Amino acid sequence: MPYSNIEALRTERNTRLQASDFYMMPDYVGNRNEFEILAVGLYRQELRDFPAKLIAGEDGSYDLTDIDLPTLPVPS
């Protein structure tokens, strides 16, 4: 999905983090196997780290045309 600017990317990233918060809650974790919980934890870490992996051009802008954020590894 192309993003118009870095703020739009961060907003989408934050939305996905918030939408996956419940996967880490004790009630949910207790009903899932350890691999699903590990996968969600890694997904959330990838989302948190994602903006830092982007490299700005000489003019300080980012090429966000081919950016894909990680996808949730478990069914919602």
Task: Tell whether pTM > 0.85.
Answer: no
What is the average pLDDT score of the chain? 87
In this prediction, residue 14 has a pLDDT band, given cuts at 50, 70 and 90, of very high
What mean pLDDT is predicted for residues 10-35? 86
- Angle at the Cα of 47 (from 16 to 64), degrees rounded to 5? 90
pLDDT at 75: 63
Residue 67 · residue 1 · CB < 8 Å: yes
In this prediction, residue 69 has a pLDDT band, given cuts at 50, 70 and 90, of very high
